[in-house]
Amino acid sequence: MSITSASICEAADRLQGFVGFNAKTGQHLVRFSEDSFGLDVPEQSITPTCEFVWQAEAGELMTLRRERIQLLLDQRIDDRLNIGEPLRVYMRRQDLPEISAERRLRQA
């Protein structure tokens, strides 16, 4: 099976959980319920993981950011996040530019 940009984007869209920014520690946290973050994570910073990895650019253009995927990998809960092989390949292939795609935010 060859891994394409489309399969990498599909894998990013299958990520599970939520990411919130803890203002007290200055770190992004992953949880699997929006209600489990606590008071140090403002509600407006809580984002579905499948959207967190994408950064908005001009118009509907978004970039799949390796640094955001790395924040998820650093949490060492890959199975729960559903980080698949296409995303692992994307992270290993630092010689290729980040993927940019025209897309819209998915509704939670």
Tokens coding 42: 């403002």
Q: Would you state the pLDDT for residue 59?
A: 82
Among the listed residues 46, 11, 21, 51, the one whose alpha carbon sits nearest the alpha carbon of residue 32? 46
Residue count of the chain: 108
Q: What's the rounded mean pLDDT across residues 34-40?
A: 86
Give pLDDT, residue 31.
Answer: 93
pLDDT band at 105 (very low <50, low <70, confident <90, very high): low
Assigned fold of 5-98: PA1123-like (3.90.1650)
107 falls in which pLDDT band (50, 70, 90)?
low
Q: For residue 82, which of 40, 23, 32, 33 has the smallest C-alpha distance? A: 32
